[in-house]
Structure 1
Amino acid sequence: MRRTLLFSALLAVMLRASAPASAVLPFHFGLFAAGPLDAISDVAGVRVSHLTKVEGSDIRTGATAILPNADPWDHKVSAAFFAFNGNGEMTGTHWITESGYLEEPIVLTDTLDVGRAVDGVVSWVISRHPAVGRGDDVPLPVVAECDDGSLNDIQARAVSAQNIVHLLDSAAPGQFARGSVGAGTGMNAFGFRAGIGSASRQLSSEEGGYRVGVLVNDNTGSSRRQLTILGVPVGERLRNEYRPVYHRQAAMRGRLAEGSIIIVVATDAPLDSRQLRALALRASMGMARTGLTSSLGSGDLILAFSTTHVFERVANFTVAAPRQPILEDDDALDSLFTATAEATQAAIYDALFEATTMTGRNGTTVYALPRERVLAMLAAAGAIRR
């Protein structure tokens, strides 16, 4: 009976075109309502900030920070990592898998600025905890990358360690920009502009009222024809339009045509690392609903954390395990899995809908998704109501 009711609810909400007033994606879908911001920051305590660098004709890059709380070194949160396909980098994940918690900010940036971002995170942690490395343990920063080299002169390594310190200082709760900003500045997906996207879902009060928020940095090199939005083959219909313009035309095959996506999942449900890994696995289902198939050259990396299952640092080198019980309601866990898939799917759409056309390195131009045309396609197919 519960599954029948859920299916009926799905039919009722799939046609809703209006999203929450402060949300970015211009339509809502799925079994669960979005949070007030339709963003990862709907999960209480989560903070986000962007550094965007658009300089001259060939710098198109940046960084994005996600913090689970104001001081993750003192208040470590349970976490888990999953690599759907591993041609990419997210540093610090061996320790997350071993310990079951996250103790630093998460920073997203371009591939060749990973080292500088790591340096910046270390400087930021030391500035707040001067005993680090001397009388206390050392951080293993979590920095994830995507290659923005089609639009950005990535060799220039335009993001500095000091940039990252300022980025982390500016992280705040609330709404934030999406699309061609921060780490997403030079990113593309399905042959369109992409970058930062975010969405959230909220369970009913009967299932605990828990929230799941997702943030993606979408730089997938998937074929234009794979793009599917709410079941509508949008990419196939636009396969010969809005094509990227390159300085030197070349066959986009093999790893040259491939890319990556970084997915960060946050929840306020009290989950341990085992349960969070299960949540991360469900994010890959949200990827698949958009047409992503994760090619050989993809770095499709997923990190999930819980803001309420906290490991407190009680002294140097000493961490206390969480005292609160974990969520053990099977129905609520199943709903969290569904909500994670929905929020991931919505976050990928959000990145596409909010990104803007950009010209960068060597005169390369990548076009934004034609927003109004796509909305008209979705309405004509009955996927949304306008």
Structure 2
Amino acid sequence: MHKGKCNSIADVAGVTVGHVTLDEKINEEESVCTGVTAILPHGGNWFEQKTPAASFVLNGFGKTAGLVQIDELGVLESPIMLTNTFSVAAVLQGTMDYMLAENPAIGDSTSSLNVLVGECNDSYLNSMRRMAVGPAHAVQAIRTASADFAQGAVGAGKGMICYGVKGGIGSSSRIVKYGNEQFTAGALVLTNFGRKEEIAIANWLPENTPEQRPDGSVIIVIATDAPLDSRQLKRLAKRAAIGLGRTGTHVHNGSGDIIIAFSTAYTIPHQQQSPYTDLRLLRDDHEVMAGLFQSVIESTEEAVYQSLFHAETTSGRMGRVVEKGLFE
């Protein structure tokens, strides 16, 4: 199966990604080693033009905001924001500030706003109790989003660890062709999970991997331009779990493994006169769906490895150092 031109989630037209990375040694004991990542589903008004979306919780040891409404209504009306566990509230606040400024009707003449924020625990390297991420960092991540974005130890991935080495942000994409048509599916991951003995790739871990630490987490974001509804997107989200499993993880008790999927093929207006919505959707039994399942599995698997490949050896609090994996 062919990769997209950028081999990233940005191969799905309109999707952009922005980072704010915070890296500062405070003293011998404390360091800020964290950040924010924003995934924008399209370049328009996300509240007025919602995208179909779904989530799948593989293991629910996580502190996300906004998932309940995603599953109830099947639409995404904000960027997907990623950060560390203790910064969910600040990032939600900043994203809300940005969107309220763009949409004066929210909370006044129309409904409230559902902001989606995911997290992983970066407290091995980051002095997470300092809560260094502020609302302004979320706004900055949104404003700087582009199709040409960095991967590795950047944004929300700055302080993350995966399979005992430096993890972070990774992305990949695949193209599904059918006749004269083609669809793209892309994955972006925030990797902070797994023990060194689990990884499926052998002979690439450095000797000095971190001491035993709490079970981590992973957030997986799947985007596609295939015309799917929320129910079908949940089916795609479930396949991302297979791609994750291919890398070796056992999905531990304390790991928050959460998958969010959305489609850019159409948008759902916040308000319209007609009580009906007419959609042109792919059939579940068509061979293209099987291709999309495969594309999600492959792009998720590669995105995990991309997060390791692009990461750099990183130092953090308590003098701790997490090394980059050994790639030939």
2:32 aligns with one of 55, 59, 66: 59
Aligned counterpart, 2:265: 308
> Alignment partner of 1:224: what SS?
coil
Find the partner of 2:124 among 150, 160, 166. 150
TM-score, normalised relative to structure 1: 0.80
Structure 2: which 5+ runs fail to align? Answer: none
> Does the aligned pair in 2 maintain the 1:269–1:308 contact within 8 Å?
yes
CA contact (8 A) 1:356 1:368 kept: yes
The residue aligned with 1:223 is 195
Distance 1:323 1:276 in 2: 18
1:361 corresponds to which residue? 317
Q: How far apart, CA to CA, are the structure 1 residues paired with 2:226 and 2:151?
A: 25
Task: Give the conservation status (yes or no) of the 8 Å contact 1:193–1:356.
Answer: yes
Shift of 1:135: 1.1
Aligned-pair CA distance for 1:322? 4.6
Is 1:344 paired with 2:282?
Answer: no
Partner of 2:144: 170
1:243 lines up with 2:209 in the alignment: yes
> Who is 1:77 aligned against?
51
Q: 1:206: Cα distance to partner?
A: 2.3
- RMSD over aligned Cα atoms: 1.6
1: CA distance between counterparts of 2:32 and 2:73? Answer: 38
Q: Decide which structure has greater helix share.
A: 1
- The answer as to 2:60 corresponding to 1:86 is yes
Aligned to 2:19: 50
After TM superposition, give the deviation of residue 205 of structure 1 in Å: 4.0
Q: Which runs of 5+ in 1 are unaligned?
A: 1-31, 245-249, 373-386
CA distance in 2: counterparts of 1:351 and 1:182, whole angstroms: 12
Query: Would you say 1:294 and 2:234 are equivalent positions?
Result: no
Q: 1:160 to 1:311 in 2, by over 3 A?
A: same
Displacement after TM superposition at 1:320 (Å)? 7.2
Q: Following superposition of structure 1 onto structure 2, how do residues 195-344 of structure 1 map, counting pairs within 5 Å?
A: 195-206=168-179, 208-220=181-193, 222-229=194-201, 234=202, 237=203, 241-244=207-210, 252=212, 256-314=213-271, 322-328=277-283, 330-344=286-300
TM-score (ref. length: structure 2): 0.94
What code does the residue aligned with 1:347 have?
A
Amino acid at match of 1:363: G
> Aligned partners of 2:204, 2:178: CA distance in 1, in Å?
41
CA spacing shift, 1:240–1:72, aligned 2, 3 Å: closer
For 2:56, the aligned partner's letter is F
Task: Return closer, same or farther for 1:320/1:348 CA change in 2, 3 Å cut-off.
Answer: farther
For the residue of structure 1 that corresponds to 2:227, the secondary structure is: coil
Q: Distance in 1 between matches of 2:188 and 2:156?
A: 12
Q: Is the contact between residue 38 and residue 141 of structure 2 (CA under 8 Å) also seen in structure 1? A: yes
Q: Which residue of 1 aligns with 2:69?
A: 95
Per-residue CA shift, 1:57-89, capped at 9, x if unaligned? 510000000011122111101000100000012
Q: How much does 1:319 deviate?
A: 9.2
Task: Tell me which of 57, 81, 95 is aligned to 1:107.
Answer: 81
Deviation digits for residues 5-57 of structure 1 (CA, Å, limit 9, x no counterpart): xxxxxxxxxxxxxxxxxxxxxxxxxxx10000000000011111000000125
Q: Quick one: percent identity of the two aligned structures? A: 39
Secondary structure of 2:169's counterpart equals strand
Give yes or no for contact 1:179–1:353 (8 Å, CA) kept in 2. Answer: yes
